[in-house]
Structure 1
Amino acid sequence: MSVGVLLVTHNRLGEELLRTARTILGGHPLATGTLGVPQDSDPSAALQRGLTLLGQLDDGDGALILTDAFGSTPSNVAVRLGQQAGAPVISGVNLPMLLRVLNYPQLPLEELRAKALSGGRDGILLVEPSPLLRQDHGG
């Protein structure tokens, strides 16, 4: 058994993140699902779809909910899902976070949650051209 992962995002962002992660990793070993929440969606209907998805993803080891922008409708749905299902919710999902989660399928929920947080934080970097690169490109 392993932890399930549900991405609750604006529109199709979760699907695209998951598709990209699958391409990079050549697949993934965790049960994953996405819940796209369009701007004009009914939050109650989205919550019901999310509860159904969580039921399919949680095989007994729990589920981790990743969402995009805190305070938005998808995030509010994710928080309600987390409360009702007893699942942790992490806001600010990005590709490094998702890749980190999918690379540690054997971890229990608590440790996977920590990996998600570190992957998200560690994946954000300020990249400035080095003087050597500027010289090579006529800069």
Structure 2
Amino acid sequence: MVGILIVTHGSFGSELVKSVELIIGRQQNIVTLALKQDDEIRDLADSASAAIEKLDDGNGVLAFVDLFGGSPCNTLGSLLKRKNLECITGVNMAMLIEASDSRQSMNLAELKESCMQVGRTAIFDLRSELSLRQ
């Protein structure tokens, strides 16, 4: 099973996992890391590296970060030289549900592409959607 690592500013990642589990149930092999005020980036990199080692059972790790160009993103970017690691920016609930539901049936590359597609197609203008249905 592909491991999932979520690295975000503050507790966004852990709260996102709690919300996903509310919908689809308890998940295994997921680690969240939070960058908080006054944390050292080097410590985040060390924690991320250790989490990747823990999560990778041979099927790889799909990492999610909150914001392209932010410190969590840059930290994961420095770790992408690892063979069994992929990373997606802009994590949202739809893509995390997809990752959790599909990580046993897809390989790392397929899962990354599927999550990116789901993440893109889960964004709507609610006013427009509701007016179309009336």
Report the TM-score when normalising by structure 1. Answer: 0.86
Q: CA deviation at 1:82?
A: 2.4
Partner of 1:71: 69
SS in 2 for 1:35: strand
Gaps (5+ residues) in structure 2? Answer: none
Unaligned runs of 5+ in 1: 134-139
Distance 1:36 1:93 in 2: 14
Report deviation, 1:86.
Answer: 4.8
Cα distance in 2 between the residues matched to 1:66 and 1:132: 33
Give the % identical residues: 31
Between structure 1 and structure 2, the one with the greater Rg is 1
Following superposition, which runs of at least 4 residues in structure 1 exceed 4 angstroms of deviation?
Answer: none
Please say if residues 43 and 77 of structure 1, whose CA atoms lie closer than 8 Å, have aligned partners that are also in contact. Answer: yes
2:81 pairs with 1:83 = yes
Report how far residue 88 of structure 1 moved.
1.2
Q: CA separation in 1, counterparts of 2:8 and 2:81?
A: 17
**Counterparts of 1:1-139 in structure 2 under 5 Å?**
2-28=1-27, 30-84=28-82, 86-105=84-103, 106-128=105-127, 129-130=130-131
Q: Does the 8 A contact of 2:66 with 2:91 survive in 1?
A: yes
> How many pairs align?
131
Distance 2:17 2:63 in 1: 13
Measured after TM superposition, the shift of residue 84 of structure 1 is 4.5
Shift of 1:40: 2.3
**Does the C-alpha gap of structure 1 residues 131 and 84 become closer, same or farther in structure 2, counting only changes over 3 Å?**
closer
Greater mean alpha carbon deviation, residues 35-44 or residues 53-62: 35-44
TM-score (ref. length: structure 2):
0.89
CA distance in 1, matches of 2:72, 2:32: 11
Residue 103 of structure 1: SS of its match in structure 2? Answer: helix
